[in-house]
Amino acid sequence: MAESNALPLVLLAEQFARLPGIGMKSAQRLAYHVMSMSDSEAQEFAHAIINVHKTVHLCSCCQNYTDRELCPVCADNRRDHKTVCVVESPKDISAFERTKEYKGVYHVLHGLISPIDGVSPDKLKIKELLSRISRDSVEEVIMATNPTVEGEATAMYISKLLKPLGVKVTRLAFGLPIGGMLEYADEITLYKALENRNEI
């Protein structure tokens, strides 16, 4: 933003520009939009940001974001706790829940193995996954990482750790377009990928 702008507006635009997918011009637009909000709307927005950090943490079982001890999926006795779908990030869970067809539970890795980005297996929630296997007598683990190089590598790495434990390990069917992002898949494609999962 040009020097002609009030400093607090410039600072707010810079905050928006740090968000993924928002460039400096969009950020400036958003800062002006916040300025045009009522005081109470701005307060509500700011409060929502702080509140997320105050109240949301990881589910002690599946590592998804939750504001309770257990997330709604893990706390639901009607779900099949012997089938665990392993995903890269919490937003992937929303994608599966939209299919309304998956009745098992989830496990969030919070990343994928990526030596280039310095993400080694010990930085992911793999330890927590392994401890669930015996504790909950898990029968099947569905590797539902994105069909990318890192997603494939992570799925292979984890399946090798799980095989000795006698658990069935499956992989989503490649109905998904390779290189694409799981969170943008439509419900039917995602459901087909679940249905045609193969043992690895």
Q: Which of 23, 33, 60, 187 binds a copy of itself (CB under 8 A)?
A: 33
DSSP SS3 for 136: coil
Options 40-48, 127-135, 157-165, 166-174: segment touching a copy of itself (CB under 8 A):
40-48
| φ, ψ at 93 (rounded to 5°) | -65, -45
Structure tokens at 55: 């109240």
Q: Which two tokens stand for residue 41?
A: 């709307």
Q: Is 20 in the site for a copy of itself (CB under 8 A)?
A: yes
**How far is the C-alpha of 8 from the C-alpha of 11, rounded, in Å?**
5
CB of 130 to a copy of itself, least distance (A): 23
Q: Which positions from 55 through 84 interact with a copy of itself, judged by CB under 8 A? A: 55-56, 64-68, 71-73
Contacting a copy of itself (CB under 8 A), which of 17, 23, 30, 85? 30
Residue 176 and residue 185 in contact, taking contact as beta carbons nearer than 8 Å:
yes
Site for a copy of itself in 116-135 (CB under 8 A): none
CB within 8 Å of 197: residues ≥ 6 apart = 142, 170, 171, 172, 173
State the residue for tokens 């040009």.
2
Can you give the binding site for a copy of itself, defined by CB under 8 A?
1-9, 11-12, 14-15, 19-21, 25-26, 28-35, 37, 39, 42-53, 55-56, 64-68, 71-73, 89-91, 93-94, 97-98, 183-184
